[in-house]
Structure 1
Amino acid sequence: MASSSLGSSHSSFTCVLKHRYGDFVVREVDPDGQIASLTPQEASEDAAVHAACNAEREWEEETKKAHAPTPSADAGAEAHDNNEKKRTHEPASLEEAMAAARAVVVEQTESNVDAEQLQALVDDAVNNKQNRSLTLPTPLDDKTKRTNVHTAIRLLSEAVEAAHSLSLVSCSAKNGSDDDNKHRIEVRVVAAGSKQARDSQRRKNGSPAIPAHVAFVVRKTNVDTASTARALQSMLLPHGAQGKGNARQHHHQKSAAAAASSIPGTVTFAGTKDKRGITYQFMSAARTFPRYIAKAARKLRGVAVGQFKVVNERIYLGNLRGNRFNIVLRNLADDAQANADKACASLRQSGFFNFYGLQRFGRGVAHTHKIGQMLLANRPDAAVRMVLLACDAETALSEADAAADDAGAPRGAWPTGNLEAALAVTKTRPNDSFIEKDLSIALRRRVEAANSTRRKDPTARGWLTREELAAAFSESLPKTTCMMYLHAFQSAAFNAAVSARALAHGSAPARAGELVLVDEDDGVGGGGGVEDLCDAEEEGGGESLPRVRLVTEQEAEANAIPASRVVLPLPGRFCTYPLDAATLDAYAPFATDAGINLQRLRTRLAWLEKHDNDVGAALRALAGAGGNDGAVVDELEGRKGKHPLLTVAALPGAYRKVVCVPQDVEWRFVRHATHDEDLLDVCGNVLSARNVESKSAPEQGDVCGTGSLLSLCVDFTLPASAYATMAVRELTKQPSDTLVP
């Protein structure tokens, strides 16, 4: 990553970031501009349960109205007649209702036993006020007969509820091994207004029995986003579904959208956030009730939920406009105040180079972008070694090749004996190392199958092939985790290209051959992020990418386009690449390391030079044609021996701004007495400056509080996928890895 900044004249200064969790508050901003928030009152356990119940009641009222019949203008008399007919068939008392139900049961089952048992069930429940259940002994193969019995029981339930606040719920019994048991009717006595009673009433009205999706806000403190979603999901999934191979396989065979719609309890989120800090995030859970989410969150440390709302669509990764940050930079020197004030003004005016932060690539030796590189290079054996053994890419490759050579296996395969030794290491991993544990479980199954085959046939191969390793990798891990490694590879390539651009042109306006968005040609926009790291299967491939064009020589000579409009691609199938040599060359090493062929791009450039000596005219012609036909990464589809999820064929690519300009930048200085004093509340407000207006002018900022220590509180909004640590890096002109203690 280049160390150059945007060229602001302020000097560097030292500070401490994330000294306390409350020093880094992040709140997501949804596509409608709403900021995720939970007040301390809303985040309490009792308030969360109360809000969940209110959301359920609102949903029930809406679904009841949505599924209520809409009478025509001339249907009043007919509706009145139907109501009168219904009243004449409704029993006036419990005794009459019981007699009518008995008559129907005897008529449909042709047996008095069922009617007698139904009578005994109701009498016992009424007298003892306890829940009871009964399965009518006579099987009913005729659906019409079953429907008549269900109708009779519902009418009886209305009378029982009116007299004793109990309800009867009937359904087809399924607790048995014999075939005819599927056609027996089970009757349960439950409390009126209970979940079972409401579900039965919703089915009677034709409305859905369970919400499609529940959206909610999560506030977490020092907790990882994926771990939070995983913990909630494990408690919301149906009993026994989590961890089973068939459920996991079903999840990966379908697209993420379909899986989230079909598996109850599946939790999705809009974006991943730092663990160290207080974050407010939008999440959704499929086919569950808000109260279950509230109860599950009570069992998680550092997690609070609220703002429940039943919705028809899930929240998907990337469904954000941006994030609002409230950050404290502590331990400023007294003479650094004027310099820091100047830095904040420069950040608001010019922004910062839009690098991906270090958290994108991990902090261990097994960097996520290197794992993605191994997957793209068709070396899943090395990728698996990096995940399981936490080693670097070079070590993983050398050990993988040595193990294959010793066993006489082809390169890329992993001998089962050597693999078993590696799997033994994962047993010592912490409980939160779910990626390693899930991957090791899938690999153990394949090793056991391979060893079983070898015991029967000693001549059978004693290793797992590349195809088997890639399949185990993609099928054992959530799709978002697999794509994380590929996106990290794209991010590393982007960072290299931005570094090349910064070193070659700095913050100068756009140069000829660089890319800008067509949608911003009218002067709208600037400084935001346009990245949408989606996969082609869900989002339709290249059709989802924004249109780009090349900057002409005339525009470059006139400095007509600022650097904040320049975009660079994240490598993918449908990306257009810039013709600026300094930037373009930065992609070559990544393409070579991953085994990606950029020859078609090179061919396109050679064609331009050969057929048009006027480079400016060639650029204009290419820009007019859209430029999307030749500059693509090819030889990505149909590469044999690779799982489809682990190839660049799954990535259409994306575009990202080179420079990001924050919005709504505000800052103030705070003096305090102790190093560990809380300066922000959980909502990101400065505790000692509730009545102090934030700065709106570039001169020296406001100072509030008393004490010998000086800190800077800065607030700003960034587009989705932009990193606040890179903004702080621009502010302080210090490497981002030295800011966090």
Structure 2
Amino acid sequence: MSPKSIPTVSANNNQKNIQEGEHAIGLELFANTLSGFPAIFKTLNSDFIVQEITESGEVCSLTELEPLVDRELERKEKAMLENTTVTKIIEEDDNDDDRGGGDANESSNNVVVVKEEIFEEFKKISGSEEDVERLRAFLNTPGVRRGTQPLLQVLEDGDGDGGEGKIGILEPLVLAPSKDKEHRKQLHAFFRQFQLDTDSVTLDNGHPNATNGQNLCIRVHPSSGGGKKRGARDDDNKSKNNKRHKKATPDTRPKWPADLPTTLQFVMCKSGRDTTDALNQLGNLLKCNPKRFQIAGTKDKRAVTTQRISVYKYRAYRLASLNKACKDIKIGNFTYVERPLYFGKSMGNAFIICLRNIDERLKETVIAGINALRETGTINYFGAQRFGNVSSTTQDASETSTGTTHKIGALLLNGKFKEAVDVILQPKMKESTKIKQAKEKYLETKDAQEALRTIPRFMHIERAILEVQAAKGRENDFCGQLTAIPSKMKRMYINAYQSYLWNKVASERVRKFGINTVVEGDLVAIIDDEDNGKTAEEIQKHSDEAYDKGLKRGENLKKVKLVTAEDVSKNAFDPSDVVLPVPGHAVIYPSWAATKADGEDDKTLDGKALFHELAMNKDGVDLELTKHSIMEFSMRSYPGDYRRLFLKPKDLECEFMRYDDSKIDLLKTDMDAFVKKNMKNTDEDDDGDKKVEKKGGKLLAAKLSFKLGAGNYATMILRELTKAQAREYSSH
């Protein structure tokens, strides 16, 4: 198909002002010539539902708050206790001198001891009568087995004269030495049934257990956690003045159950909270650093979102107990897994979006737009939220809807650190009046100390800059102020500039060669044959292997190839395979075939040159040469990536609903099962479930449901459908 016969990609002239703002971040074209329609989204948080999709294609949902997985563990632990112990009645003599005397009556106590069969089993493995007797005394000592109260030992004082002793903790049991590795494996497995930690230790030659020159022994630690550090060499021969021997105190923390994976994974549903804020609250309630929580990606703030979270060595019952204290957050569906989550460990998100205030006369326009989206999709632009949507109040009207994040990125790449600091500290349009006033006062006085007293703590970027400014002699250390910004936020600026360049080049490519086309010189993503037809378990295994190899850090760029004329003639690739590079030092660039326009000579459109010329001519940025010595603000620190050029939503459906009150929820969320809702304006089914439509409503809304891959923006689907006429609800 020649370029002239490709359908023209249109822009809606009625939205000139909106497009001027969008053009500033490269959102220049639409994929079809249909008309759009005005609508409002995010009137309520429940109007925008986001659910994470796992690597196996399962949509995350919150269905259970109780820690059922721990209850199953408790049941198994109880069964283990019943299978390995027996209760005996021990008659005690009250006249025993050690008990300080008493009356002549006898008393009896119930004592839980290990069954004799257990020691017979151990004898078959060990073969040592001495070890059997020592083990019997060890396991029946209070505090050794899980669930028994620890019994503190009295250790001799450091002077060794038999004087007053110190309170210490139970010592681990060291078995007879063995050079047989298989024998030691059997011993390790035996002790796991009691949930006791074991390790191998090499003893000093002088140790009583180091017989016949054999030094490698099994060491068994009490469940109280008071044993010596695992993997450490035995230090019984060290000085008795060692502080660890003198002032040892029992560790009352429960030991992690044997054979239980060390990572707890759970599902979090939140409403009106950004992901970082939600994790901070969980961390505060647990009294742990929020950085311990791992996620596959961040989710919208003005929405009801469901996603997976993982945390290292926390039991489910502890997390479940937080539900009562959390506002707008619910967590559940607990499970223990071998590996934590990491950024990118998902297949994308499922969306359910409610568009309100639709004109009844435009219902057919909505239907036509939905059909066009199913057929042709849209351009896979980076959305406006990538660039920040809280622009400076000093900017012109064409930039007020898109933000300045990418502009700060250009300043950083150019080494214009003072200008970058100034832009960051400018008042923004959507900030509260109090914050704007604080920033305006700072701009007048340049008093960083005063600004720190008035700017809220959640504004991490601004505060990081001001804290360095407030230090004596660092008022003009603009480089130091910027490097103090948290790492993820620093990368955000450069990533935004990379995204801006991608959007601009994507517009240029579609403008020249059309939508859903494959042309000579394009780059296409290649999928290995071995990746096809994998089961969910195989996909999970591949993901885990990638984690183990460190591929989560971005070293696994997509495999791509340059499309040849022969590929085009054979229709070897689908338009969905076409990718454009996100500029970086490790990517290759397209080189499109010669094109000829009126009055132009034949020439090849070089993709690399297009990226570089755009960066240099628009912003003075050289993508190959660094103008300063700060590596984290250099393109040499960013390998780049590949992003698919065309986007089609999967499983796109549309349903119309009627309503009267814009303050009433129209969509069901995961929260509804656990939080009471005000449903005065909706009918209810007999089983109590709410209906999403009231037949007599005067207002019209459209419920959209679809799925997108990781890194794709639902707002770009709305932009294409409404031709940029949908706006986010604002109460201001």
TM-score w.r.t. the length of structure 1 is 0.62
Q: Aligned with 2:418: secondary structure?
A: helix
Cα drift, residue 492 of structure 1: 1.0
Aligned partners of 2:131, 2:570: CA distance in 1, in Å?
83
Cα drift, residue 302 of structure 1: 1.3
Cα drift, residue 499 of structure 1: 1.9
Q: Aligned with 1:198: secondary structure?
A: coil
The answer to whether structure 1 residue 646 and structure 2 residue 633 are counterparts is: yes
Cα drift, residue 469 of structure 1: 3.7
Cα drift, residue 677 of structure 1: 2.9
Q: 2:518 maps to which residue?
A: 510
Cα drift, residue 557 of structure 1: 6.5
The answer to whether structure 1 residue 34 and structure 2 residue 84 are counterparts is: no
Structure (1 or 2) with the greater helix fraction: 1
Aligned partners of 1:105, 1:464: CA distance in 2, in Å?
58
The answer to whether structure 1 residue 332 and structure 2 residue 358 are counterparts is: yes
- Map 1:686-701 to 2 at 5 A: none
Query: Percent sequence identity over matched residues?
Result: 25
CA contact (8 A) 1:16 1:740 kept: no
- Counterpart pick for 1:472 among 460, 466, 484: 484
- Counterpart pick for 1:5 among 2, 8, 30: 30
Q: 2:248 maps to which residue?
A: 186
CA contact (8 A) 1:509 1:559 kept: no
- Map 1:582-601 to 2 at 5 A: 585=610, 588-591=613-616, 596-597=621-622
Q: Aligned with 1:332: secondary structure?
A: coil
Aligned CA distance change for structure 1 residues 108 and 144 (closer, same or farther; 3 Å): farther
Aligned CA distance change for structure 1 residues 353 and 11 (closer, same or farther; 3 Å): same
Q: Structure 2 unaligned segments of length 5 or more: list them.
A: 1-25, 82-120, 145-150, 170-203, 211-216, 230-239, 393-403, 430-441, 534-542, 593-604, 673-678, 687-691
Cα drift, residue 5 of structure 1: 2.0
CA contact (8 A) 1:501 1:582 kept: no
Q: 1:721 maps to which residue?
A: 711
Aligned partners of 1:334, 1:500: CA distance in 2, in Å?
36
Aligned partners of 2:495, 2:379: CA distance in 1, in Å?
19
Q: Aligned with 2:504: secondary structure?
A: helix
- Map 1:64-463 to 2 at 5 A: 78-79=124-125, 81=127, 85-87=131-133, 90-91=136-137, 105=155, 110=160, 112=162, 180-188=242-250, 196-198=253-255, 212-236=262-286, 238=288, 266-295=292-321, 298-365=324-391, 367-390=404-427, 421-422=447-448, 424-444=450-470, 447-448=471-472, 450=473, 463=476
Aligned partners of 2:638, 2:707: CA distance in 1, in Å?
28
Quick one: which amino acid aligns to residue 365 of structure 1? S
RMSD (CA atoms) = 5.0
Aligned partners of 1:115, 1:145: CA distance in 2, in Å?
23
Cα drift, residue 573 of structure 1: 0.5
Q: Aligned with 2:50: secondary structure?
A: strand
Q: Structure 1 unaligned segments of length 5 or more: list them.
A: 65-74, 120-140, 159-166, 173-177, 191-195, 243-263, 393-415, 452-461, 526-531, 598-632, 692-701
Quick one: which amino acid aligns to residue 302 of structure 1? D
Cα drift, residue 486 of structure 1: 1.5
Q: Aligned with 1:484: secondary structure?
A: helix
Q: Aligned with 1:720: secondary structure?
A: coil
CA contact (8 A) 1:25 1:683 kept: no
Aligned partners of 2:685, 2:706: CA distance in 1, in Å?
18
**Structure 1 residues 236-294: Cα deviation after superposition (integer angstroms, max 9, x where no partner):** 465xxx6xxxxxxxxxxxxxxxxxxxxx9522321122110100122222454444444
Query: Larger deviation: 550-559 or 486-495?
Result: 550-559
Aligned CA distance change for structure 1 residues 217 and 115 (closer, same or farther; 3 Å): same
Aligned partners of 1:555, 1:715: CA distance in 2, in Å?
35
Aligned CA distance change for structure 1 residues 234 and 645 (closer, same or farther; 3 Å): farther
Aligned CA distance change for structure 1 residues 553 and 524 (closer, same or farther; 3 Å): farther
Aligned partners of 1:513, 1:463: CA distance in 2, in Å?
48
CA contact (8 A) 1:564 1:657 kept: yes
**Structure 1 residues 72-116: Cα deviation after superposition (integer angstroms, max 9, x where no partner):** xxx986327458853566359889x9xxx9999459984655669
CA contact (8 A) 2:356 2:700 kept: yes
Aligned CA distance change for structure 1 residues 319 and 104 (closer, same or farther; 3 Å): same
Cα drift, residue 376 of structure 1: 1.5
- Counterpart pick for 1:681 among 637, 644, 668: 668
CA contact (8 A) 2:51 2:349 kept: yes
Q: 2:645 maps to which residue?
A: 658
Q: Aligned with 1:36: secondary structure?
A: coil
**Structure 1 residues 551-591: Cα deviation after superposition (integer angstroms, max 9, x where no partner):** 23455567765543321111100111222339663652324
Aligned CA distance change for structure 1 residues 93 and 370 (closer, same or farther; 3 Å): closer
Aligned CA distance change for structure 1 residues 52 and 433 (closer, same or farther; 3 Å): farther
Q: 1:14 maps to which residue?
A: 38
Cα drift, residue 390 of structure 1: 4.2
Cα drift, residue 57 of structure 1: 5.5
Cα drift, residue 228 of structure 1: 2.0
